[in-house]
Structure 1
Amino acid sequence: MFSLPAEFEQFHWMVDMVQHVDVGLVVLDKDYNIHVWNGFMIHHSGKQAHEAIGKNIFEIFPEIPQEWFNAKAKPVFELGCRSFLIWRQRPYLFKCRNVRPITQQAPFMYQNVTLNPMTSPKGDVDYLFMSVEDATAEAIAEERGMNK
């Protein structure tokens, strides 16, 4: 029976997890070109990987205010620290359709996004990765609580 080396098997598992995790994962370089676009982003944004990878995020998503996003990404690239975009400040980064059940109607997916530095072996931060969480249920619950 053919056996794969453990490292290859683990690499395969990692790729599978990145594609199927219930969180959006996007990798950007300093010019804001997209290098990774996982299954969550494909499903929720409606943009296939070949439509996003290699493209500039502002071209694909013109609704993202460039100056505002640059200000959020700057400390990630320059200081190597995280930056957070929460739905209370801005309901979403990527205008994605809401895929929640009918009981949780919303015109779009509310999102919490974390911008994380990706440090090279030399200690440079040439890329960042974003984790995009669906915060729609939380937002709807909070809005319902405020409107009572």
Structure 2
Amino acid sequence: MSVESNLNVVEELHWYTQVIDTMDVGIFVLDLEFNVMAWNRFMQSYSGIPSSDILHKPLFSVCTDLPQAWMEAKCNATISLGTQGFSSWEDRAYIFEFQNFSPASRGLELMHQNMVITPLSSLSGQVSHLCVMISDVSDTAQNKMLLNESNRKLEHKSRIDGLTGLLNRACWEQSLIKECRRLKVDDERVSTLVIFDIDFFKRVNDTYGHSIGDEVIRHTAQLAEKTSRESDFVGRYGGEEFAVLLPNTGHEQALYFAERLRKRIAESQIKTAQGTINYTISLGVCEFNRTQIETATQWIEAADTALYKSKDNGRNLTTVYSLAL
């Protein structure tokens, strides 16, 4: 090869080096033993390791904080398949522990990264090196996480009653409908519905005001949650009325739950500037009966019938539904 040809090759390599160094992504090249053969300016700036300290040295000996086993597996898969390998920040937030300096994603301490591994072939066609590209996607990651958090809060808000923190009526009814379907296809499954409301609640509002009325509702919700199990569905059905779905529970166990809740509330007190409030609840209990109930609406109506029987009999009572009511 002539001197002129050699100069042309050197000049061409110089251009390539300049191009790689000016790119706003991290680029480095590894041989098949994971020795570093190229290390661009981006990698030097963010890692604090100049190319003179890493070229022709094992990557994992110099960058000791890398996930070595994971990265070797990624690289070996690229070598075996001869196709590009990828890693997204959503799978692994970062590969290199680079500080994040982007003002648009200040909430992230470390740079979030995407990685692309490209196999490089020799003249023989065999993979001889790997080009690894590290992209800073911190801004995208921050925006995606903020959006996901907003969506999570909206989804939570759409399911939860704002005053009590219980399931709202729409969400609770969906749970009841799903349970009703399960009961209709599983003859051995048993579940019970408990509906209750606060006795003389209008009198509380008229005497103490709506803010105290809200406090009574919140207090009732808290005791209902404390008395129920994690597997139960406790919801605010509307106003001062509440509903509890007890899956895998017969009417006897449900009656025990209802009586325990009724006594807890009757024994509790709410202290206000206008005095201490004592109050009670009335409850209706209805176990799902396949011969009498076909829909969630009918189940609610049956439990309501039992609730109103408790009201008719003097309040502060629990009534279990039967056809005789």
Range class of TM-score, shorter chain: 0.7 to 0.9
Q: Does the aligned pair in 2 maintain the 1:75–1:82 contact within 8 Å?
A: no
SS in 2 for 1:25: strand
SS in 1 for 2:117: strand
What is the identity, as a one-letter code, of the residue corresponding to 1:122? S
Which string of whole-angstrom CA distances, capped at 9 and with x for unpartnered residues, describes residues 40-59 of structure 1? 11111111111221221212
Which residue in 2 is equivalent to 1:54?
Answer: 56
**Structure in which a larger fraction of residues adopt helix:** 2
Q: Give 1:85 shift.
A: 1.1
Q: Give 1:38 shift.
A: 0.2
- Within a 5 Å distance, the mapping from 1:3-82 to structure 2 comes to 9-82=11-84
SS in 2 for 1:147: helix
Q: Distance between the aligned counterparts of 1:35 and 1:63, measured in 2?
A: 19
Superposition RMSD in Å:
1.7
Q: Give 1:28 shift.
A: 0.6
Q: Distance between the aligned counterparts of 1:71 and 1:41, measured in 2?
A: 22
Q: Distance between the aligned counterparts of 1:44 and 1:141, measured in 2?
A: 22
Aligned length in residues = 143
Q: Does the aligned pair in 1 maintain the 2:112–2:141 contact within 8 Å?
A: yes
What is the identity, as a one-letter code, of the residue corresponding to 2:77? P
Which residue in 1 is equivalent to 2:87?
Answer: 85
Q: Does the aligned pair in 2 maintain the 1:109–1:134 contact within 8 Å?
A: yes
Shift of the 119–109 alpha-carbon distance from structure 1 to 2, 3 Å rule, reads same
Q: Does the aligned pair in 2 maintain the 1:25–1:130 contact within 8 Å?
A: yes
Which residue in 1 is equivalent to 2:288?
Answer: none
Shift of the 11–67 alpha-carbon distance from structure 1 to 2, 3 Å rule, reads closer
Identity across the alignment (%): 29
TM-score, length of structure 2 as denominator length: 0.42
Q: Distance between the aligned counterparts of 1:61 and 1:88, measured in 2?
A: 22
Which residue in 2 is equivalent to 1:104?
Answer: 105
SS in 1 for 2:75: helix
Q: Distance between the aligned counterparts of 1:8 and 1:56, measured in 2?
A: 26
Q: Using the TM superposition, name which of 125-134 and 53-62 deviates more.
A: 53-62
Q: Please identify runs of 4+ aligned residues in structure 1 that moved more than 4 A.
A: 5-10
- Structure 1: runs of 5 or more not aligned: none
Q: Give 1:79 shift.
A: 2.1
TM-score, length of structure 1 as denominator length: 0.88
Q: Distance between the aligned counterparts of 2:90 and 2:122, measured in 1?
A: 33
SS in 1 for 2:119: strand
Q: Does the aligned pair in 2 maintain the 1:28–1:36 contact within 8 Å?
A: yes
SS in 2 for 1:93: coil
Q: Distance between the aligned counterparts of 2:10 and 2:62, measured in 1?
A: 33
Which residue in 1 is equivalent to 2:139?
Answer: 137
Which string of whole-angstrom CA distances, capped at 9 and with x for unpartnered residues, describes residues 48-81 of structure 1? 1112212212122222222211221112212211
Q: Give 1:84 shift.
A: 0.4
Q: Distance between the aligned counterparts of 2:28 and 2:8, measured in 1?
A: 27
Higher RCO, 1 vs 2 (CA within 8 Å, ≥6 residues apart): 1
SS in 1 for 2:29: strand
Question: Whose Rg is larger?
Answer: 2
Q: Give 1:9 shift.
A: 4.9
